[in-house]
């Protein structure tokens, strides 16, 4: 069953005349009759009642026409949706990002982009690295901003910014008075860490490995905001990037002396993957912002 067959069928239903339908469709009458006959053969039902040159829609034809009209209407709606997505002036950008980046980085990028392209819309997904990477792998988003690269070589990584890491203490902690600190000086301190699905986890493990020690884990949190909250409550210390989303009252941020104590934020996209014109524009805008 082909789409053209269905369109031919509805035209005959509407005009109730094969000759007029063939003229409307700009095809020969034999070609139209053959197309209708093949459709009836495939369905195993007569769609029309014929009497000489006269033709009338059968009961089965009316039933089928209702379904075909609904199906073609849905196809047309689907086509319009895709056209809207592809429109370079009013399309849609599907973007996933880490929760913590929603406090400053992502809103600023979207704000600046909207000043140039106010009609382009965004579909946003946020979560920890595991959540957003699953969306990326399923093809539910086109771009992703994270602090951790995808494991598969199918994905590219575009570095955006390098964010320094700080040792974070409650204000009453003795080490909160230090101007700088080595990571190794946190040995023995109750440490509030993040779970493995957090994008920062791998970076922190690398920092600890270089420092030659493993922190004494007191609590394991789902996200960085929870880590900051536990520190504020005096339940431990941690290492965090100094971003607006984590700047809670009662926290003291001490710079780390160790070289390489930073995390990298990057944009991830599928190598050779299809990008709409609107998404390409946003991609180029992001690259320009961090050039």
Mean residue pLDDT across the chain: 91
- Which position has the token pair 């190598």? 271
Q: How many distinct structural domains can be found in the chain?
A: 3
Is the pLDDT at 73 greater than 90? The verdict is no
Residues 174 and 43 in one domain: no
Residues 165 and 260 in one domain: yes
Distance CA 236, CA 192 (A): 6
At 53, the pLDDT band (50, 70, 90 cuts) reads: low
The domain boundary residue, chosen from 78, 113, 134: 78
Residue 14 lies in a domain: yes
Question: What is the 3-state secondary structure of the chain?
Answer: CCHHHHHHHHHHHHHCCHHHHHHHHCCCHHHHHHHHHHHHHHHCCCCEEEECCEEEECHHHHHHHHHHHHHHHHHHHHHHHHHHHHCCCCCEEEEEEEHHHHHCHHHHHHHHHHHHCCCCEEEEEEECHHHHHHHHHCCCCCEEEECCCCCCCCEEEEEEEEEEEEEEEECCCHHHHCCCECHHHHCCCEEEEECCCCCCHHHHHHHHHHHCCCCEEEEEECCHHHHHHHHHCCCCEEEEECCHHHCCCCEEEEEECCCCCEEEEEEEEECCCCCCHHHHHHHHHHHHHCC
Q: Token digits for 86?
A: 């592809």
Domain hosting 113: range is: 92-159+267-289
Residues 167 and 252 in one domain: yes
Q: Mind listing the pLDDT tens digit for each residue in 172-205?
A: 999 999 999 999 999 999 999 988 777 788 889 9
Residues 253 and 166 in one domain: yes
Is the pLDDT at 265 greater than 90? The verdict is yes
Is the pLDDT at 17 greater than 70? The verdict is yes
Q: What is the CATH number of the domain that holds 32?
A: 1.10.10.10
Residues 66 and 126 in one domain: no
Is the pLDDT at 15 greater than 90? The verdict is no
% of the chain surpassing 90 pLDDT = 61
The domain boundary residue, chosen from 45, 78, 111: 78
Give me the mean pLDDT over the 17-35 stretch.
89
Residues 107 and 34 in one domain: no
pLDDT of residue 126: 93
- pTM score: 0.71
- Return all residues near 110 (Cβ < 8 A) that are at least 6 apart: 122
Helix or strand holding residue 217 (H, E): strand 216-221
Q: What is the CATH number of the domain that holds 133?
A: 3.40.190.10
Residue 84 lies in a domain: no
Residues 155 and 282 in one domain: yes
């Amino acid at each position: 069953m082909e789409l053209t067959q269905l369109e031919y069928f509805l035209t005959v239903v509407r005009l109730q005349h094969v000759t007029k339908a063939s003229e409307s469709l700009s095809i020969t009458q034999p070609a139209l009759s053959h197309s209708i006959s093949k459709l009836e053969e495939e369905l195993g039902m007569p769609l029309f009642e014929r009497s000489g040159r006269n033709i009338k829609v059968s009961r089965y034809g009316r039933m089928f026409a209702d379904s075909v009209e609904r199906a073609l209407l849905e196809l047309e709606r689907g086509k319009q949706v895709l056209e809207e997505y592809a429109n370079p002036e009013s399309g849609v950008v599907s973007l996933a990002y880490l929760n913590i980046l929603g406090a400053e980085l992502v809103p600023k990028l979207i704000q600046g982009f909207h000043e140039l392209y106010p009609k382009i819309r965004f579909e946003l997904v946020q979560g920890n690295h595991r959540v957003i990477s699953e969306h990326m792998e399923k093809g539910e988003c086109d771009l992703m901003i994270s602090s951790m690269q995808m494991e598969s070589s199918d994905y590219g990584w575009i570095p955006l910014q390098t964010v320094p890491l700080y040792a974070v203490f409650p204000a009453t902690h003795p080490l909160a008075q230090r101007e700088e600190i080595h990571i190794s000086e946190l040995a023995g301190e109750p440490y509030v860490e993040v779970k493995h699905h957090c994008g920062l986890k791998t970076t922190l493990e690398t920092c600890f490995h270089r420092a030659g020690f493993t922190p004494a884990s007191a609590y394991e949190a789902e996200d960085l905001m929870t880590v900051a909250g536990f520190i504020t409550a005096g339940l431990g210390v941690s290492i965090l990037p100094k971003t607006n989303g984590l700047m809670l009252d009662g926290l003291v941020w001490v710079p780390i002396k160790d070289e390489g104590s930073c995390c990298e934020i990057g944009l991830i996209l599928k190598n050779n993957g299809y990008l709409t014109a609107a998404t390409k524009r946003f991609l180029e805008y992001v690259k320009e912002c961090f050039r």
